[in-house]
Amino acid sequence: MKKFIFILCACLVVLFVVWLVLRFNKTNSNEVVYDGGYVASVADESIVIYDIDDLEAQAWEVIPQGGFDYIRGGAETENTMKRNEMAFDMVDIYPRVLTGVNEPDITTEILGIDISLPVIVAPAAAHGLAHVSAEAGSARGAAASGTIMSVSTYASSTLEQVAQAGEGAPQWFQLYLSKDDAANRNLIKTAEDLGYRAIILTVDAPVGGNRVSDARNNFKFPLAMPNVPKKSGKTKGQGIGAIFAAAQNELGPYDVMYVKSLTDLPVIVKGIQHPDDAEIAILAGADAIWVSNHGGRQLDGAPASFEVLGEIAERVNKRVPIIFDSGIRRGQHIFKAIAMGADVVAIGRPVIYGLALGGWRGVVSVFDYLKADLERVMWLAGTQNIDDIKNINLRKRCETKWCE
């Protein structure tokens, strides 16, 4: 009997060790382990999306906790982040009938670039937290979807890798100004030489927001950010606060003029949340305005991006195009943003979640979902094309707290 119990215990130990190896070595076909033990997905498949809100919970199962919280999280109480989506309920879309609409056309153009839908990829740091292909994978998905990929200075992929993955598809480069002028010049020249079509100057992050979940996790980036100038210090093993601190954190209209002086590419000023700032940016030479509160990741207690879009669009008065982000998840959100004054919108987290779940094919699935959803909304609202959306009036819900 003792011998039997001993053999049984030995077998259980062996099975437990095998389980540990399979569980923590991450040698299966769906994951890869970086130095330091961070696990990233290598999934390569289309994904089925019934409701885009499902992607966040599904991505939580795939992305390690620290990386997931960095991607998902907002500043402090996350009130502004939550309002970004809630604010779309400020207004309603009038359903229209007997309009003769058939198979709505969702194609449009921005800064001379034709795209298959009025949705582009917003610049976001460190796609490598979600998938081994990183921004190169997102770029391949964006290219296959017929839209624009925006690449952050804080990307996990080099500008060269992203350009190669896009195979000539339109791409924009988002610049966080360095304190090193030579580095700024080199980054912009590299982007120009690689065929990037615009420079996005982000102006709403002189310091990092108070991202509580990152502090609790003591989150440090497991991968380097190869586009960050070496003089700014190392990025691997650093938190986002330290990385922001190494960048230029005293920004004014002269910085827009400075970037304009370095390139013939259009310069888009990103992070506008007040009509006066839109005016300043335009007077400084901005070729487009990007209305954004950084996805609710900077100043908690700020209004939702959608809440200020209308007044900014009124001040801009069509002098330059308007790009909009923060909270876009559905076709109705895209529709409402365009009706309120945006020319195109951008998405960040949904792209990264799709990348984690299916690689570049997962990114395509996200855009396919939004294409179908926007077409459906346009059909039901009696709008044949994007210009029709720009000419309709939304109904304000004045019984809600948003318009008291």
Q: Show which residues are catalytic.
A: 294
Name the nearest CA neighbour of 393 among 335, 346, 343: 335
- In terms of DSSP H, where are the helices of 104-203? 134-144, 159-166, 181-193
φ and ψ of 39, to 5 deg: -105, 130
Encode burial over 117-145: b for 16+ CB neighbours within 10 A, e otherwise. bbbbbbbbbbbbbbbbbbbbbbbbbbbbb
In eight-state DSSP terms, residue 173 is E
SS (H, E, C) 282-345: HHCCCCEEEECCHHHCCCCCCCCHHHHHHHHHHHHCCCCCEEECCCCCCHHHHHHHHHCCCCEE
What is the Rg, in whole angstroms, of the alpha carbon atoms belonging to the chain? 22
Largest Cα–Cα distance of the chain, in whole Å?
Answer: 89
How far apart, in whole angstroms, are the C-alpha atoms of residue 269 and residue 215? 29
